[in-house]
Amino acid sequence: MKKSPNNGSKEPRIIPRAKHNVTRNEFSKSALKVLYRLNKAGYQAFLVGGCVRDAMLELHPKDFDVATDATPEEVKALFGNCRLIGRRFRLAHVRFGREIIEVATFRAAAIHDHDDHHSDDEGRILRDNVYGSIDEDVWRRDFTCNALYYNIADFSIWDYTGGFEHIREKRIVLIGDPEMRMREDPVRMLRAIRFAAKLGFEIDEHVIKSIDHGAHLLTNVPAARLFDEFLKLFQSGSAERTFDLLRDHGLFREMFPATDQELADDPEFLSFTRAALQNTDRRVREGKSVTPMFLLGVFLWQPIKKLAAIRRAEEKMSESQSLALAAYEVVAQQQRRISIPKRFTVPMREMLSLQPRFEVKRGKRAIKLLDHRRFRAAYDFMLLQSEVGQADKETAQFWTDVQTQSAAERADSFQLGQPTGQKKRRPRRRRRKKPAQDS
């Protein structure tokens, strides 16, 4: 491994403003207000982490984290728009309208029995509120590229770990012993993958070895936290590259075991999944909205289809019913690994159960599909399948065309015989006169 300047020093390498490309123009006004007020009150105040890294890379940072020697309570006393959050890590959130600036107090290693620090049997940190100095805080951070401190006092960058050079070399390097750091927080494995995919960096060989040895540790991470990581991994514009790296290092298998098995067995499912990932990345680049519901539906589609076929063989039910039932069962299994909120699982099940209805293109029930609240998501899902040859292209074209047709044209397409919404008049039945009875 190539040694970089000041790699692992207890004293920072201080890079003056004239020697780096980071400017205050890259930082939000709200973040600068927090820094200036802390500095004016006599506290140390630094921007730290991804915002400094992204500013160096000219990626225009959007999230800003402040590190200071002020305690959370002291930060709260300075800002009326501040609230304290967290138990695992005590933090101050300073709110400016819709923007939140996160302020963390420098942390140190726990060395006393009474220190507010607790780990589980695997070494995963459960609580860590031991405050210290910046010289101690840096060693609690994960990767060297995230351990640069921008000092508002003189606009210099403080580098303890060689992160300044590692960013220039485009390398992901872990601070400290990789095996131990991954045990402390297995999510660091996912973060290494995410940064490598997002930034186009190479992962250091020692980090790769620790990931390959410790992938199973993801089962120790709370399922709700893994859902948060799923969003960061797949909704940041580098979903396809992330997917490949996760599979290369056995992490995708830990997150989506049923999907991983189907991907290995079915090349067509892999091509469909890859098309969905490319589509997600394209939407992010174009500034369009993305929902986790859609990609989760793609990942679970093949396991759900296989289980639905089994359920149809066991009981008499329609294809839509069997898909809805199978989706419920597969999602319940998946929740053990990643806790997916109900606001995503319910529309996902509806989207998948609508797929067979696209085959019906005649009659009133067919035209009603256009008004279904999940039509657009279900249509996009079907269209993606048709693009990779897993759904009929003529069917896809039919449903594409009818969306822009007039009422009369739709009625003709669905063979209704008249525009939708116009009720057929029934001919009045004449009452038969009763024959006159003889008196």
Q: What's the pLDDT tens digit per position in 217-232? A: 999 999 999 999 999 9
Domain count, the chain: 1
Q: What φ, ψ does residue 116 adopt, rounded to 5°?
A: -80, 75
Res 420: pLDDT: 43
Mean pLDDT, the chain, whole residue set: 90
Residue 1: pLDDT band by 50, 70, 90 thresholds?
very low
With respect to residue 192, please indicate whether it lies within any of the assigned structural domains.
no
With respect to residue 21, please indicate whether it lies within any of the assigned structural domains.
yes
Q: Give the pair of three-digit tokens for residue 234.
A: 């797949």
With respect to residue 96, please indicate whether it lies within any of the assigned structural domains.
yes
Pick the range with the lowest mean pLDDT from 44-53, 61-70, 363-372, 419-428.
419-428
Res 177: pLDDT: 93
* pLDDT at residue 309 greater than cutoff 70: yes
Res 89: pLDDT: 80
Pick the range with the lowest mean pLDDT from 86-100, 228-242, 253-267.
86-100
Return the percentage of the chain with pLDDT > 90, whole number.
85
Range(s) of the domain holding residue 1? 1-169
Cα 128 to chain centroid, rounded: 25
- Catalytic residues, by residue number, are 63, 65, 142
**Cα-based distances in Å from 55 to 30, 66, 181, 318:** 16, 15, 26, 55
Give dist(CA 332, CA 337) in Å, integer. Answer: 10
With respect to residue 151, please indicate whether it lies within any of the assigned structural domains.
yes
Enter the DSSP assignment of 325: H
Closest among 148, 159, 207, 199 to 181, alpha carbons compared: 207
Residue 316: pLDDT band by 50, 70, 90 thresholds?
confident
Residues 6+ apart with CB under 8 A from 64: 27, 28, 30, 31, 47, 51, 101, 102
Query: Residue 47, by phi and psi: left (phi above 0), alpha (psi -120 to 50) or beta?
Result: beta
Average pLDDT, stretch 128-146? 89
Res 434: pLDDT: 62
Average pLDDT, stretch 174-196? 95
Average pLDDT, stretch 393-407? 96
Res 293: pLDDT: 96
Length of the chain: 439
Closest among 190, 160, 169 to 48, alpha carbons compared: 160
For 23-57, the pLDDT digits (tens) are 999 999 999 999 999 999 999 999 999 999 999 99
Which is more confident, 3 or 178? 178
Give the dihedral sign, CA 141/147/152/156: positive
With respect to residue 97, please indicate whether it lies within any of the assigned structural domains.
yes
- Nearest 10 degrees: Cα torsion 242, 343, 101, 81: 180
CB 229 within 8 A of CB 214: no
* pLDDT at residue 328 greater than cutoff 70: yes
With respect to residue 344, please indicate whether it lies within any of the assigned structural domains.
no
Residue 7: pLDDT band by 50, 70, 90 thresholds?
very low
With respect to residue 101, please indicate whether it lies within any of the assigned structural domains.
yes
With respect to residue 91, please indicate whether it lies within any of the assigned structural domains.
yes
* pLDDT at residue 153 greater than cutoff 50: yes
Q: What φ, ψ does residue 382 adopt, rounded to 5°?
A: -65, -40
Res 428: pLDDT: 67
* pLDDT at residue 129 greater than cutoff 70: no
Give dist(CA 25, CA 59) in Å, integer. Answer: 12
CATH code for position 5: 3.30.460.10
* Cβ density class 222-241: b for 16+ within 10 Å, e for less: eeeebbebbeebbbbbbbbb
Pick the range with the lowest mean pLDDT from 76-80, 240-244, 366-370, 422-426.
422-426
Res 178: pLDDT: 93
For 263-303, the pLDDT digits (tens) are 999 999 999 999 999 999 999 999 999 999 999 999 999 99
CB 92 within 8 A of CB 72: yes
Residues 6+ apart with CB under 8 A from 406: none
* pLDDT at residue 116 greater than cutoff 90: no
Res 87: pLDDT: 77
Res 3: pLDDT: 38
- Gyration radius of the chain's alpha carbons: 29
Question: What DSSP string describes 143-158?
Answer: BGGG-EEEETTTTEEE
Residue 6: pLDDT band by 50, 70, 90 thresholds?
very low
